[in-house]
Amino acid sequence: MTGRDIAIKGRDGEFSAYLATPGSGRGPGIVVIQEIFGVNQVVRDIADGLAAQGFFALAPDLFWRLQPGVQITDKTDAEWQQAFGLMQRFNADTGIQDIQVTIDTLRAMPGVTGKVGAVGYCLGGFLAYLTATRTNSDATVGYYGLNIPQHLGEAAAIGRPLMLHIAEADDYVPPEAHAKIAAGLEHNPLVTLHRYPAMQHAFARVGGQHYDKANADLANGRTIAFFRQHLS
């Protein structure tokens, strides 16, 4: 298993991405969609972990139009302010274009067998939902995504499996938003919703303030099983 930065040619220019390759050199692909902190060590570790499970994992720099190469942490107020500033300026529509290009790039890589899916966290959890409605990802997973209720009008476009991990005590997603997500998606047989009572936003971010190992392990186990089922 090795990881390295590569360049991807997008519609509007070239951007970087972190690629983690399984030791066998063969396997399905997963696009890892970043949080608001860029393609930092947390994202790279997630990609490496997926590669250890037998997947090619590719994490694109979605902030490249704003500030290429962002790699900040959640440890200081200054970094949080920088991250929120980037999120506020971020254009989800062009971000989804970049995710589609990343999916296409991964599908064309030597050794990638079967299908290509995507997984995202926080901002990436929201983008994972849009990935399920707007791209040809074969299977998609979102963790504690923001702003999904405002885009439930796109739910009819979900044509491949989608799994969402919902933190029920999320400070950024109030209970009424969770109710809207459930009402809008739970009757779609392609959508699986997992709820985590008392869990805060980013409960699966290793080293984060609200990290909860038991629930993170549960969610991550479900994610791997989901991808093994739908990307083989």
User: CA of 79: how far to CAs of 28, 76, 92, 121, 146, in Å?
Assistant: 34, 5, 21, 18, 19
Question: Looking at the annotation, which residues are catalytic?
Answer: 170, 201
